[in-house]
Homo-oligomer: A and B are copies of this chain.
């Protein structure tokens, strides 16, 4: 039992393939008699016709596919899988609303299947947590004119848009909530070294007062023991819960989009996933409108407290 094609409908309705296509696609420039329109539509329904998007994509040179490409971390933290789940789910929802389908792919150093964007003729792609190296490799396989957005990554290439939490603002707000200057910063790590550097830089703290999570158990508490009773900032709600056991005067900056798991007595700063809307719409515009240009390279997600 094979799938119904336009051809089948045409045969059944005694009209040409073209006519069927016009009707199914509601082509405005083409006038169709009500009679045939109704007839064809009915038959299409009877035969349970569904568009063959593969064939369609080939012809119109648009797939309606967006890639969400997640780069896994070397040192897998316990929360690493959860970290981007909400972001991805939200993005899928938003793209879906605009009629796109989402191809989801994880890339690690073992499986560097970089060609997906071109192989699958993706209309656009979101790369999450990429380091410069991997980005260079994969960017060899970008299509020309395919919008590519990077999230949580500093890529030294002005061709691409970057989506980042507004770190500076977050630190400002944190300071406000603490009422005094934080004495330490505990943060999660990222594949993208430049992003880590940017964060540490913005914190205005010397390296000795910054702890970048490194997977090894125990190292955090050793670090913290240097700052008894001191106020601090903690990026990542999982780390915050941990730190809170010994240091209650902290602000949690919820970089995991997962503030529900945060102890509810911890001061916190969150980001709103609805802010992705703007990004998704931008990608859509790039796809729809070949000549669209947006020179805003940084999308800073505003923190809420």
Q: Which residues of A pack against B, CB within 8 Å?
A: 1-3, 48, 50-55, 57-58, 63, 65, 68, 78-79, 81-82, 85-86, 88-89, 92-93, 96-97, 101-106, 111, 113, 115-116, 118-121, 140-141, 143-144, 238, 258, 260-261
Contact A104 B92 (CB under 8 A): yes
Contact A143 B3 (CB under 8 A): yes
Describe A's contact surface by its main secondary structure.
mixed
Contact B92 A106 (CB under 8 A): yes
Complex Cα distance, B86 from A78, in Å, reads 11
Q: Which residue of B lies closest to A84 (CB)?
A: B85
CB distance from A144 to the nearest CB of B (A): 5
Contact B106 A260 (CB under 8 A): no
Complex Cα distance, B81 from A81, in Å, reads 12
Number of copies: 2
Contact A51 B92 (CB under 8 A): no
Most buried by B among A92, A101, A141, A238: A101
Q: Which residue of B lies closest to A1 (CB)?
A: B144
CB distance from A44 to the nearest CB of B (A): 13
9 new A-B contacts at CB < 8 Å, known A48-B141, A50-B141, A101-B103: A2-B144, A48-B140, A50-B118, A52-B58, A53-B121, A54-B54, A85-B89, A96-B105, A102-B104
Enumerate 26 A-B pairs (CB-CB under 8 Å) in ascending A order. Answer: A1-B144, A50-B118, A50-B119, A50-B141, A52-B58, A52-B121, A53-B119, A53-B120, A54-B57, A54-B58, A54-B121, A55-B58, A82-B86, A85-B85, A88-B104, A92-B105, A92-B106, A96-B106, A96-B111, A97-B111, A101-B120, A102-B103, A102-B104, A102-B105, A103-B103, A103-B104
Complex Cα distance, B106 from A82, in Å, reads 17
Complex Cα distance, B101 from A278, in Å, reads 27
